[in-house]
């Protein structure tokens, strides 16, 4: 019996994809936002691939990166829910917050905001680490300090990747040392703001995803 239970957990729980559940979910605002977020990611990815030579994307190697986000990172919540069965119900709003990290950055490129609006770069770098910290606390149960630390580590890793990508691969994602330092500074501020707000308000604490104890 123990072996059978362990084996069953290796497969997707198809009962979570019953038609009645799917149809009911489609009436929820959070689900519609989720669908819209994923469509934006797909559209921005296609734009970066089809128009790779455009001034908006030239020298940034964004097409392959966006494909990796679309097929990899953006699928984190569905995979954890269906395969790992971590949550009692799907955490739609946390997934929406998580997806906003990616489509906000992609929008900056597709809408040419990074090139045309000098301060735009600060917005995704402020939002990304902060949103990720809130997600780590809300759905994965990390303490505030651990969530803030992990989100900061990942943001620093991203900045290192962009810098050394320019050095080793000839891309053009960083506009000098000051750009990297400002990105890290805005990331730290965003992480602190989101983490403190999430920890302070009882509403956000009550909205944490409930673990599936089956």
| C-alpha–C-alpha distance, residues 170 and 60, integer Å | 9
CA-to-CA dists, residue 184 to 75, 178, 207, angstroms: 26, 10, 29
Task: State the pLDDT at residue 6.
Answer: 46
DSSP state of 208: S
| C-alpha–C-alpha distance, residues 44 and 106, integer Å | 6
CB 187 within 8 A of CB 152: yes
What would the mean pLDDT of 208-212 be, rounded to a whole number? 65
Residue 55: exposure state from Cβ atoms within 10 A (0-12, 13-18, ≥19): exposed
Listed by start position, the domains of the chain span 2-206
CA-to-CA dists, residue 61 to 28, 48, 82, 109, 173, angstroms: 36, 9, 32, 12, 9
Task: State the pLDDT at residue 8.
Answer: 45
Ranges of H-type helices in the chain: 2-8, 19-25, 29-50, 62-71, 76-79, 92-110, 113-116, 122-140, 144-169, 177-200, 202-206
> Angle CA(139)–CA(142)–CA(146) in degrees, nearest 5?
140
Each residue of 69-89: pLDDT tens digit? Answer: 999 999 999 999 888 888 888
Task: State the pLDDT at residue 133.
Answer: 97
Taking only Cα atoms into account, the Rg of the chain, rounded to an integer number of angstroms, comes to 19
What would the mean pLDDT of 106-122 be, rounded to a whole number? 94
CB 101 within 8 A of CB 125: no
| C-alpha–C-alpha distance, residues 191 and 131, integer Å | 7
Question: Whole-number mean pLDDT of the chain?
Answer: 86
Confidence of residue 169 (pLDDT cuts 50, 70, 90): confident
pLDDT of residue 207 exceeding 90: no
């Amino acid at each position: 019996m123990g072996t059978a239970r362990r084996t069953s957990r290796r497969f997707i729980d198809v009962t979570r994809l019953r038609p009645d559940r799917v149809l009911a979910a489609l009436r929820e605002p959070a689900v519609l936002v989720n669908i819209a977020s994923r469509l934006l990611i797909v559209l921005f990815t296609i734009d970066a691939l089809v128009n790779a030579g455009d001034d908006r994307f030239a020298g940034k190697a964004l097409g392959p990166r966006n494909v990796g986000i679309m097929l990899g990172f953006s699928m984190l919540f569905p995979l954890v829910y269906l395969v790992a069965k971590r949550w009692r119900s799907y955490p739609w709003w946390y997934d929406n917050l998580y997806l906003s990290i990616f489509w906000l950055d992609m929008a900056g490129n597709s809408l040419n905001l990074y090139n045309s609006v000098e301060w735009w770069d600060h917005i995704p770098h402020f939002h990304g680490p902060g949103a990720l910290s809130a997600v780590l606390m809300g759905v994965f149960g990390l303490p505030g300090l651990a969530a803030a630390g992990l989100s900061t580590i990942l943001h620093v890793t991203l900045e290192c990747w962009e810098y050394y990508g320019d050095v080793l691969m000839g891309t053009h994602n960083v506009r000098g040392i000051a750009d990297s330092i400002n990105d890290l500074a805005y990331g730290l501020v965003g992480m602190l703001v989101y983490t403190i707000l999430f920890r302070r308000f009882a509403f956000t604490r009550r909205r944490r995803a409930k673990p599936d104890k089956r």
